C-alpha cells in the first residue's frame, strides 16, 4: 500500500542545507503494523512527517524521492490535494497530548470539524459520530464529555481523544509518533492496547515510531531501525530480537532493561 | 462569572471616588480661578471677584465644595457650567456622543488595520513582515497630532474637494456625518493600530508553533479553518487586552484630534473649560471618561471568558 523509494529530507536554513533523511526506502502493506526505532535525531519523526508532508511550522524543508501511496506519488500532489489525503487516508497521532488539542474549542468540536471536512456529514450527524468515537476510545459518558474543553481532561484521556480524531475518518494508515512517551507507564500500556484494538477493528495499517524497543514488542510485525537518517537494519520483529546484526541495533536492544538480568558493567 | 462582574463593578466606585478627588485637587492647584478668567483682566476690584466667587460657592472651604459636588452627582446632578449657567449634563451629552462616535470609529479602524497587518506579517513573513514592521516603527515614532496635521495638509492641498473641517451632525446627515469623521478617526486610530499590529503578530507567531496547529494540519483541515478556529481564536486573548487598554489612549488622543479637525466633541469642550477654569464641567468630563475606561476593562474581562474557556473567575 505504501512504497517509499529514495526518500530524502533536507532542512534549508539561511542558504545552508542539512540532510536529515538519506535516501531511504521502506514498505508498509495494507493492515500491517510496522515499527520505526531509533534514538532522537535519527530521522524517524521526519520520515513519519514526510509521509504526511508536514513540515514543522516556520521551517523550510525539501523532500526528495517518491512516496507511493496506493500507486500515487504523494510528493507530486499539490498542497490542496494533499489536504484530502491528510486525516482521510493517512492520519497521525503525536507525542505530546497536553499540547496537541486546541484549548479554545471543545473536544467534540475538534472531532466534528474533521468529520465535516472529510466525510461530508451535517453538524448533527458529525456530533452523533463524535460521541460514538469518544466511546470507542474508552471515554466514559461521551455525550457530556464531548462538550468539555481539553483542560478538563488528563494526559491519557487527551491522547485517547487525539486517537479518536485520528481514526475518525477510518484512514488506511495510522502513523503514531511516540504516542506514549509523554504518558505515565500505566497509561502507556492502555494507550498501546487501544491502538492495537482499533487497528484490528478498523483494519488500518500502523506505522509506530518509538525510541523504545520495549514499546513495539508485541505491537508490530516488522521493524526498521534508523540511525543518522538511514535505515541500518530491518526485518521481522522476532528475528531482529533474536539475532540483531547491526551493532546499533544490538546497542538499542541492550538498552532495554530486563527483569532477572544484571546490567553489565 | 456574574459574581465577578458584580465585584468588578463594585470596585469601580472607590476608584471613581479617588479619581474625582485627585481631579478636584489638581484643578484647585492651578493658578487663577473662574472669577479671574471670566473678568479677563487683573485690574478688577477685589470686591467684584469676591462677589462672583460667593455666587459660585468658590468662597467655601474645599472639602465643602467637594461635598456639595459629590452630593449632586449621587442624585444625578452634575451641576451647572460657570460660563454658560446651563446644566452640565445638557451641554456634555451631545459632545460626549460625538467623541464616543469618533473614538469607536478610531478603535474600529485601529483594530482592522492592526489585526490585518499583524496577521499578514506573521503569516506571510519575508518582505511583508519587513514592510509592516517598518511602517509600524515609523508610526510609533511620529505622534498622532503630526499624523493628523499631515493628513490635513495632504488632503487640503491635493484633494480640496474632500472637506476636512466640515463636521456634519449625525441628525442632519448620518452618512455625511460618518464620512466627515473618517479622516479624524484615521489619524487617531493609526497610532493605536501599531500596538494592536505588533501584539497580533507576536501572538500569531506564538500560536503558529503550537502542536495543536500541527495537529490541525495533520487532520487535513482547510487553510481558512485553521486560520480562523486555531490561529486567530487563540491569538485573540492578548489582542483583546491591548485593544481594551488602548481605549484610554484613544480618549486622550481625541482631545488633540478634535482640536485639529475642529470637531465639537468632548475634547474641545474640556480644553475650553480648563482654560476658563469651569470646574463643574471639568469634573464631569473626568468622571465620565474614567467611567468609560473602567467599564471597558470589565468588558475586556468578560470577553476573555467568552473567548477562552480556561479563564474562570471563581
CATH number at residue A192: 3.40.50.300
Portion 42-71 of A in contact with B at CB < 8 A: 52, 54, 56-58
Is the residue at A261 inside a domain? no
Return the pLDDT at B260: 87
> Which stretches within A219-259 are classed as H helix?
237-242, 247-254
- Cβ of B221 and A92 within 8 Å? no
Residues B153/B187, Cβ–Cβ less than 8 Å: no
Kindly report the backbone phi and psi dihedral angles of residue A153, in degrees, each rounded to the nearest multiple of 5, phi listed first: -115, 150
Cα gap A46→B21, rounded to integer Å = 65
Is the residue at A59 inside a domain? yes
- Cβ of B219 and A162 within 8 Å? no
Which member of B217, B221, B229 has the closest CB to residue A54?
A: B217
Q: What is the DSSP string of B43-108?
A: -S-HHHHHHHHHHHTTTS-HHHHHHHHHHHHHTT---B-TTT-SBHHHHHHHHHHHHHHHHHHHHH
Is the residue at A237 inside a domain? yes
- Cβ of A104 and B215 within 8 Å? no
Return the pLDDT at B42: 65
Number of domains in chain A: 1
Which member of A54, A84, A101 has the closest CB to residue B218?
A: A54
Q: Which residues in chain B have Cβ-Cβ distances shorter than 8 Å to A87? A: 218-221
Return the pLDDT at A191: 92
Q: Give the structural domain span for A54.
A: 2-254
Residues B125, B122, A81, A83: is their CA dihedral positive or negative? Answer: positive
Report how far apart, in Å, the C-alpha atoms of B123 and of each of B113, B133, B233, B234 are. 15, 13, 15, 15
E strand residue ranges, chain A: 2-13, 16-28, 33-37, 60-69, 72-73, 90-93, 173-177, 205-210, 222-227, 230-236
Per-residue pLDDT of chain A (265 residues; tens, 9 = 90+): 999 999 999 998 877 888 999 999 999 999 999 999 988 889 899 999 999 999 877 778 899 999 999 999 999 999 999 999 999 999 999 999 999 999 999 999 999 999 999 998 999 999 999 999 999 999 999 999 999 999 999 999 999 999 999 999 999 999 999 999 888 888 898 999 999 999 999 999 999 999 888 888 888 999 999 999 999 999 998 888 888 888 888 888 888 777 766 655 4
Return the pLDDT at B261: 87
Give the residue range(s) of CATH 1.10.3720.10 domains in chain B: 111-276
Q: Does B222 touch chain A (CB under 8 A)?
A: yes
Residues B80/B56, Cβ–Cβ less than 8 Å: no
- The yes/no answer on whether domain B111-276 falls in CATH 1.20.120.1200 is no
E strand residue ranges, chain B: none
Which member of A96, A100, A113 has the closest CB to residue B221?
A: A113
Return the pLDDT at A261: 67
Is the residue at A264 inside a domain? no
Helix (H, G, I), strand (E, B) or coil at A171: coil
Cα gap B74→A199, rounded to integer Å = 72
Q: Does B224 touch chain A (CB under 8 A)?
A: no
Residues B270/B285, Cβ–Cβ less than 8 Å: yes
Burial classification of residue A224, based on how many CB atoms lie within 10 Å of its CB (0-12 exposed, 13-18 middle, 19 or more buried): buried
Residues B53/B62, Cβ–Cβ less than 8 Å: no
Dihedral class, residue A5 (left if φ above 0, else alpha if ψ from -120 to 50, else beta): beta
Return the pLDDT at A265: 46
Per-residue pLDDT of chain B (314 residues; tens, 9 = 90+): 788 889 889 999 999 999 999 999 998 888 888 888 777 766 777 888 888 888 888 888 888 999 999 999 999 888 888 888 899 999 999 999 999 999 999 999 999 999 999 999 998 888 999 999 999 999 989 888 888 888 888 888 887 776 677 788 888 888 888 888 888 999 999 989 999 999 999 999 999 989 999 999 999 999 999 999 999 989 988 888 888 888 888 888 888 888 888 888 888 888 889 888 899 999 999 999 999 889 988 888 888 878 777 776 65
Q: Which residues in chain B have Cβ-Cβ distances shorter than 8 Å to A114? A: 219-221
Sheet containing strand A205-210, strands side by side: A90-93, A173-177, A205-210, A33-37, A222-227, A230-236
Return the pLDDT at B212: 95
ipTM: 0.90
Amino acid at each position: 500500500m505504501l512504497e517509499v523509494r529514495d526518500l530524502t529530507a533536507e532542512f534549508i536554513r539561511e542558504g545552508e542545507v542539512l540532510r536529515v533523511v538519506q535516501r531511504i526506502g521502506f514498505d508498509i502493506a495494507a493492515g500491517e503494523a510496522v515499527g520505526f526505532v531509533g534514538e532522537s535525531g535519527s530521522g524517524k519523526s521526519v520520515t513519519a512527517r514526510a509521509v504526511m508532508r508536514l513540515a514543522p511550522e516556520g521551517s523550510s524543508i525539501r523532500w526528495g524521492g517518491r512516496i507511493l501511496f496506493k500507486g500515487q506519488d504523494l510528493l507530486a500532489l499539490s498542497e490542496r490535494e494533499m489536504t484530502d489525503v491528510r486525516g482521510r487516508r493517512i492520519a497521525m497521532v503525536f507525542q505530546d497530548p497536553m499540547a496537541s488539542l486546541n484549548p479554545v474549542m471543545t473536544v467534540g468540536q475538534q472531532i466534528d470539524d474533521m468529520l465535516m471536512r472529510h466525510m461530508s456529514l451535517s453538524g448533527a450527524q458529525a456530533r452523533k459520530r463524535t460521541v460514538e468515537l469518544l466511546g470507542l476510545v474508552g471515554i466514559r459518558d461521551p455525550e457530556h464529555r464531548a462538550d468539555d474543553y481539553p483542560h478538563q481532561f488528563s494526559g491519557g484521556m487527551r491522547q485517547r481523544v487525539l486517537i479518536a480524531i485520528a481514526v475518525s475518518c477510518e484512514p488506511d494508515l495510522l502513523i503514531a509518533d511516540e504516542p506514549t512517551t509523554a504518558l505515565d507507564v500505566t497509561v502507556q500500556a492502555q494507550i498501546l492496547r487501544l491502538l492495537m484494538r482499533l487497528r484490528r477493528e478498523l483494519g488500518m495499517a500502523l506505522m509506530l515510531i518509538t525510541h523504545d524497543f520495549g514499546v513495539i514488542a508485541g505491537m508490530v510485525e516488522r521493524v526498521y531501525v534508523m540511525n543518522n537518517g538511514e535505515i541500518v537494519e530491518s526485518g521481522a520483529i522476532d528475528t531482529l530480537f533474536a539475532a540483531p546484526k547491526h551493532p546499533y541495533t544490538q546497542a538499542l536492544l541492550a538498552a532495554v532493561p530486563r527483569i532477572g538480568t544484571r546490567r553489565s558493567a | 462569572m456574574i459574581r465577578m462582574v458584580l465585584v468588578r463593578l463594585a470596585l469601580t466606585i472607590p476608584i471613581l471616588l479617588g479619581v474625582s478627588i485627585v481631579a478636584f485637587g489638581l484643578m484647585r492647584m492651578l493658578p487663577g480661578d473662574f472669577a479671574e478668567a471670566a473678568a479677563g483682566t487683573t485690574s478688577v476690584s477685589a470686591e467684584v471677584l469676591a462677589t462672583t466667587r460667593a455666587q459660585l460657592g468658590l468662597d467655601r472651604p474645599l472639602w465643602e465644595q467637594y461635598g456639595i459636588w459629590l452630593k449632586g452627582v449621587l442624585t444625578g446632578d452634575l451641576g451647572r457650567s460657570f460660563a454658560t449657567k446651563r446644566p452640565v449634563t445638557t451641554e456634555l451629552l451631545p459632545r460626549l456622543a460625538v467623541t464616543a462616535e469618533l473614538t469607536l470609529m478610531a478603535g474600529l479602524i485601529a483594530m482592522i488595520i492592526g489585526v490585518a497587518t499583524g496577521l499578514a506579517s506573521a503569516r506571510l513573513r519575508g518582505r511583508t513582515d519587513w514592510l509592516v514592521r517598518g511602517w509600524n516603527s515609523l508610526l510609533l515614532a511620529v505622534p498622532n497630532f503630526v499624523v493628523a496635521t499631515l493628513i490635513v495638509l495632504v488632503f487640503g492641498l491635493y484633494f480640496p474637494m474632500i472637506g476636512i473641517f466640515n463636521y456634519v451632525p449625525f441628525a442632519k446627515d448620518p452618512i455625511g456625518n460618518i464620512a466627515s469623521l473618517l479622516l479624524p478617526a484615521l489619524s487617531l486610530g493609526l497610532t493605536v493600530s501599531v500596538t494592536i499590529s505588533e501584539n497580533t503578530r507576536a501572538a500569531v507567531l506564538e500560536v503558529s508553533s503550537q502542536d495543536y496547529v500541527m495537529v490541525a494540519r495533520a487532520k487535513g483541515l482547510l487553510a481558512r479553518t485553521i486560520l480562523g478556529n486555531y490561529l486567530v481564536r487563540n491569538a485573540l486573548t492578548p489582542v483583546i487586552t491591548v485593544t481594551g487598554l488602548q481605549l484610554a489612549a484613544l480618549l486622550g488622543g481625541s482631545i488633540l484630534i478634535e482640536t485639529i479637525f475642529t470637531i465639537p466633541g468632548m475634547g474641545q469642550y474640556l480644553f475650553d473649560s480648563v482654560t476658563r477654569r469651569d470646574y463643574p464641567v471639568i469634573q464631569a468630563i473626568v468622571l465620565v471618561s474614567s467611567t468609560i475606561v473602567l467599564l471597558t476593562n470589565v468588558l475586556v474581562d468578560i470577553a476573555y471568558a467568552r473567548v477562552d474557556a480556561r479563564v474562570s473567575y471563581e
